[in-house]
Structure 1
Amino acid sequence: MSQRITIALIQSHLHWENPEDNRKMFEEKINTVSKDTDLIILPEMFTTGFTMTPQKIEAEEGDITVGWMKSMAEKTESAIMGSIIFQEDDQFFNRLFFVYPNGETKTYDKKHTFTLAGEDKVYKAGEEKLILEYKGFKICPLICYDLRFPVWARNTEDYDVLVYVANWPKPRIEAWNTLLKARAIENMAYCVGVNRIGQDELGYDYPGHSAVYDVLGKQLAFSEGEEILYATLDKEHIVSTRQKLKFLEDRDDFSLKG
């Protein structure tokens, strides 16, 4: 019997710089998620929106949100992931948390901070790629602007699922659509993108377009509205396709230098 996981992508508006209201909102949405869901994915900076003034957010909010994620993961018996503002040693991070149902936590700090918005001047960039294992699947979580950099996502670890959480605006949404599909094809992995919708306090519009693509780039889920999308990922699809089409074995041999 093939291994499968069902994922839920929560595409939502966000309350600007208001962690408490966002936690309440997402808790209501999570409470409606199908009981057979294995992994719930939230957008980038899901408690605040994509703000460049993290000093407005109380430092303890990061720990409060992680505690909330653990509580929701235990309650739903599903893993939960998404990125938030996290303060550590007087530095701010755009940090993704992957919380297992048992409370175990893995983290990834956004590698490519968005220079166009000045994110590089406010948030400390990460240096380590994260590959985690969950229910027989190897997952690589990344954040928004990381999508534009294929070398960082390059599948040298034989991961099964690539996930991007984002606040990706309307003027460049075709790049989002195109690159998600490309990352799936070139890495022979499922590629999942979770974006927000609505307008933020700075006037930027976000059109959603959360989506899931299979190993060959076939779209399995897509939405422009405020809703929860579902997709079931099948390990056999990955294994059989890679055995038949050995494209990853022909990849160029090189390494990144710091």
Structure 2
Amino acid sequence: MKKDILKTSIIQTSLVWENPKQNLKNFSKKIESLNGKTDLVVLPEMFTTGFSMKPDGLACDSGVIDYLKDHAIRGGFAIYGSVMFQIGDKFVNRGIFMRPDGSSTIYDKRHTFTLAGEHEVYEKGGKTIVAEYLGWKFNLQICYDLRFPVFARNTSNYDVLLYVANWPVPRINAWDALLKARAIENMSYCIGVNRVGKDGTGMDYNGHSQVYDVLGNELLNQPWEEEGIQTMEIHKSQIEKYRSKLRFLEDRDKFTLN
């Protein structure tokens, strides 16, 4: 089945520091409130723990896949968010795009955040991943990836950039500006979901989750700095209309990403 209009829901919330059990419980209530009301639910980065560099004993395994699958099937929507995930004796910051049919697409964060030492704890992913759902193509991205436009470059004719993040207050202006830029330069919707509250390191977060259309117009009120859930519609026909009228993507420079 394909849909021209996709209902998309953003959950902007605080996270309980390094407490997967409580975070999963909290998210269950929020996710279940959307059952039958939306097509896609987007959660923040590392939604089970906050942006922690201590994955030992806290990292997810296949249990989080079952958790997302159960909610997606019962809710009738897809879900995207990232978690610290253990593979053997290694860890990754893993984005999981779970569909309501139980299938999933996995993306491991390419750009680990060296300022916080993420590169010393988590293995980085190797390539761009695009998930397909209801006739839409979603480029899966995580937080720090936002600073690297070549990695988001629209060479696969995707429709939506999805960024999930723990992006702190001191650099929130960059978050606002770069989300808008990624939408405009790639002629795609750009959805960014950030957390709020304070983490265990004392870092403050003020959300500013946002959805931009292909022209860089905001679809949510700005700035949005409180906990909550917002649902909006995105339209495939808008993408087709402006890509047909404004053929900027055809004029992009030709090169490949290693």
Q: TM-score, normalising length from structure 1?
A: 0.96
Structure 1 residue 173: deviation in Å? 0.1
Residue 9 (structure 1) aligned with residue 15 (structure 2): no
| Aligned counterparts, 1:56-135, within 5 A | 56-57=57-58, 61-135=60-134
- Asked if the contact 2:35/2:76 (under 8 Å) is kept, the reply is no
Structure 1 residue 62: deviation in Å? 2.6
> Secondary structure of the residue that 1:80 maps to in structure 2?
strand
CA distance in 2, matches of 1:22, 1:107: 21
CA distance in 1, matches of 2:71, 2:234: 22
| Aligned counterparts, 1:208-247, within 5 A | 208-222=207-221, 223-247=224-248
In structure 2, give the amino acid aligned to 1:152.
F
CA distance in 1, matches of 2:250, 2:155: 10
CA distance in 1, matches of 2:61, 2:175: 28
Structure 1 residue 89: deviation in Å? 1.9
Structure 1 residue 2: deviation in Å? 7.0
In structure 1, give the amino acid aligned to 2:129.
L
CA distance in 2, matches of 1:48, 1:183: 27
Structure 1 residue 123: deviation in Å? 0.1
In structure 1, give the amino acid aligned to 2:190.
C
Give the % identical residues: 53
Residue of structure 2 equivalent to 1:167: 166
Q: For structure 2, which runs of at least 5 residues remain unmatched after alignment?
A: none
- Asked if the contact 1:209/1:224 (under 8 Å) is kept, the reply is yes
CA distance in 2, matches of 1:256, 1:65: 31
Q: TM-score, normalising length from structure 2?
A: 0.96
CA distance in 1, matches of 2:208, 2:230: 11
1:193-236 C-alpha deviation (Å, 9 max, x unpaired): 00000000110000000000000000001421100011211000
CA distance in 1, matches of 2:174, 2:45: 17
CA distance in 2, matches of 1:174, 1:208: 11
CA distance in 2, matches of 1:21, 1:88: 23
Structure 1 residue 30: deviation in Å? 1.1
1:5-51 C-alpha deviation (Å, 9 max, x unpaired): 11100000001111110111001111222633000000000000000
- Asked if the contact 2:3/2:135 (under 8 Å) is kept, the reply is no
Residue of structure 2 equivalent to 1:26: 27
- Asked if the contact 1:2/1:236 (under 8 Å) is kept, the reply is no
Q: For structure 1, which runs of at least 5 residues remain unmatched after alignment?
A: none
RMSD: 1.2
> Secondary structure of the residue that 1:219 maps to in structure 2?
coil
> Secondary structure of the residue that 1:55 maps to in structure 2?
coil
Residue of structure 2 equivalent to 1:39: 40
CA distance in 2, matches of 1:73, 1:62: 18
CA distance in 2, matches of 1:44, 1:72: 18
Question: Structure 1 residues 36, 245: CA separation in 2 closer, same or farther (over 3 Å shift)?
Answer: same
Aligned residues: 255
Residue of structure 1 equivalent to 2:139: 140
In structure 2, give the amino acid aligned to 1:18.
N
Runs of 4+ in 1 over 3 A off after TM superposition: none
